[in-house]
Structure 1
Amino acid sequence: MRDLNNHEVEAVSGGWILSDIGASIGYAIGTIIDRGATAGGLETTAKNSFQEIGSGIGKILELNISGAITDIGKGVSDALKNTVKVIEGIKNSSSSSS
């Protein structure tokens, strides 16, 4: 009989459950932001960014620091890109209505 590697142990013991929960919470928060923005006439993709950030927070709790840094960094980067896109859209719509 052989020893299990780290990945196999995590799979059997339910590893990564916190990152999955964090991703689900982040997705829900991002969806609420997207719906609010849509109601205000804006188009955003916050749910994807917040899903990454939530996953990263869950990975911190799992002590998966490198995975957390990657996910949080990607989520924040995507959120900033989305924010710039929304601001540009607002500027373009206000300049075209003048």
Structure 2
Amino acid sequence: MADALTIAALLLTAFMATTVVLTRDPARQAIVLSAYGLVLAVLFVVMQAPDVAMSQTAIGTVVVPLIVMLAVHAIRRHHGREPDDGGER
């Protein structure tokens, strides 16, 4: 049973990593990155590393996507684009 859970967590992690890479819009990528961080935290719990999972949850699920979203917003403001126009000129 433990092997099946480990394999499932690894496959879900690989799927989410691929999804992050294939997402083109930076704002959406930050949201998918947050979900990927959550999946990584689950993987760490399955691999019996709860301390690493807590760190991953705090940093990978919350802080990094927030910084990415703030950077995307600042770049769009600097270039005179509104955040909801799709980023096209």
Same fold per TM (> 0.5)? yes
Q: Which one-letter code corresponds to 1:27 in the other structure?
A: A
Query: For residue 84 of structure 2, what is the aligned residue in structure 1?
Result: none
SS in 1 for 2:51: helix
Query: For residue 85 of structure 2, what is the aligned residue in structure 1?
Result: none
Residue among 52, 63, 66 paired with 2:37: 52
Once the two structures are TM-superposed, the CA of residue 73 in structure 1 deviates from its matched residue by 1.5
Unaligned stretches of 5+ in structure 2? 82-89
Query: For residue 51 of structure 2, what is the aligned residue in structure 1?
Result: 66
Query: For residue 22 of structure 2, what is the aligned residue in structure 1?
Result: 32
Specify whether residues 68 and 19 from structure 1 end up closer, same or farther in structure 2 by C-alpha distance, changes over 3 A only: farther
Q: Based on CA coordinates, which of the two structures has the bigger radius of gyration?
A: 1
- 8 A contact 1:44–1:82 mirrored in 2: no
TM-score (norm 1): 0.52
Query: For residue 86 of structure 2, what is the aligned residue in structure 1?
Result: none
Q: What per-residue deviation string (whole Å, max 9, x for no partner) do you get for residues 36-58 of structure 1? A: x1xxxx58864765543321122
Unaligned stretches of 5+ in structure 1? 1-12
SS in 2 for 1:94: coil
Residue 81 in structure 1 maps to residue 67 in structure 2: yes
Please report the RMSD computed on the Cα atoms of aligned residues, expressed in angstroms. 3.4
What percentage of aligned pairs have identical amino acids? 10
Q: What per-residue deviation string (whole Å, max 9, x for no partner) do you get for residues 39-98 of structure 1? A: xxx588647655433211223445543222111212121111000000001111117xxx
Residue 23 in structure 1 maps to residue 13 in structure 2: yes
Q: How many residue pairs align between the two structures?
A: 77
TM-score (norm 2): 0.56
